[in-house]
Amino acid sequence: MRLLLGFLVIALWVPVAVAQTPLAGHYPPGQSGIRGAASPAEPGWAYTNFSRAFSNLEVKDADGGTVQSKSETRFANISMFTWNSAWKVLGMRYGALCGIPFATGNLNPSGGEVTSTGFGLGDILVTPVSLYGRPPSFDYQFQFTYWSSSGHFVPGDTKNRGAGFSALVYSMGGVWYPKGERRNWSASAVARFEQNFEQTKTSIHPGDDVVVDWGIGKVIRSSARPLELGVSGFGTWQLSHETGGPTGVDTKKYHYLGAGPEGSYSPWDHWTLRLRAQWEFETHNAVQGNNLWFIVNFAS
C-alpha cells in the first residue's frame, strides 16, 4: 500500500514540476514592429496607447515539447507618454518617456503562474534617457529604462498584475530607408537587454535576457493619409540562468520566436492607427501563445 501511495504522489507531482518554467523578463516581445526605432522629426509630445490581447496556449519544455495546455487569454493596455526635446547630447536629440500598464495579469507569465482575474495596475516603466539620431537614410536610438515592480505581487495570488521584481533595460535600434526614401520601404530592428533583479518574497533571481523586435514595411499609399503594410516579429533569448527559488523548476535557458502581418493607417493629421498579429513558434522552456496588438498614436 505504501508503495502504491508513493507512485500516486509521484504521478501527481511530476506534471506540476515539469510545467514550471523560468521567470521571463518584463518587456513584452513584439511591442515594437515596423519603424519601431524611428526617430521623431520634430521636438514635441506624443501619446501611444497599446492594447494587447495575448493567449497563453501551451507550456513548452527545454526540448520544445508540450508539457501542459494553458488555454488562457490575457489583456493589457499600456499608455506611453513620450517627450522629445530640441536638446542635443553627443549629437543626438534627447527625450524621455513613461509607460503605465493595466492588465489582467503579468505581461510575460511563466508556466507555473496561476490564472489571474480582474484588471489592475502593472509594473510601471520610466525611461529617463532616450537619444535619437536622424541622418537622411536611417534613424537610430539608444535608451536606458528602469522597469519597476509597482504591480501587485504575492506568490500564488490570483490578483497578481506584476512580475514581482525590477529591472534595468538597455536598448539600441535603428531603421533603414533604402535610397533615403522615408515613404517607401523600411527595415527596423530594436534590441533590448534586460538586467533582472531578485523577485520579492521568493528569493528567485531571474536570468537576464535580450529581446529583438524587427519589422519590414512598405508604404502602399504615400499621401496625406498614408497606408503601410508589412511583416514584423521578434526573438527572445535568456542570457543567464535563473537561480534560487523552489525545486522542480527547469532552469535551462528559454527562447522563442514570433512573427506575423502588420499594417498602419493615418486617418487624421497627427494620428496613426496600427494593427499587428504575431504567432509564436520555436518555443523552448517557456509559455507559447499568440499576440494581437491594436496601437493608437498621437504626435503633436
The string of pLDDT tens digits covering residues 61-83 is 999 999 999 888 999 999 999 99
56: Cα within 13 Å, side-chain hemisphere: 24
- CATH number of the structural domain spanning residue 144: 2.40.160.40
CA 223, 227, 233, 239 dihedral sign is positive
Q: What is the pLDDT of residues 177-200, one digit of tens each?
A: 999 999 999 999 999 999 999 999
Burial class (CB in 10 A: 0-12, 13-18, 19+), 226: middle
Q: Of 129 and 108, which is predicted with more confidence?
A: 129
The percent of residues above 70 in pLDDT, for the chain, comes to 92
Continuous H helices in the chain: 2-18
Q: Of 115 and 44, which is predicted with more confidence?
A: 44
Cβ atoms within 10 Å of 124's Cβ, excluding its own = 17
Tell me how far CA of residue 149 lies from CA of 116, 124, 200, 221, 245, in angstroms: 17, 7, 9, 43, 18
pLDDT band at residue 14, thresholds of 50, 70 and 90?
A: very low
pLDDT at 19: 61
Q: How many domains does the chain have?
A: 1
Tell me how far CA of residue 257 lies from CA of 6, 81, 95, 111, 229, in angstroms: 40, 28, 30, 17, 21
Q: What is the pLDDT of residues 208-238, one digit of tens each?
A: 999 999 999 999 988 888 999 999 999 999 9
Q: Which domain holds residue 207?
A: 2-299
pTM (two decimals): 0.90
In the predicted model, what is the mean pLDDT of residues 240-268?
90
Selection from 29, 21, 36, 22 nearest residue 279 by Cα: 29
Residue 9 reports pLDDT greater than 50: no
Residue 6 reports pLDDT greater than 70: no
pLDDT at 156: 87
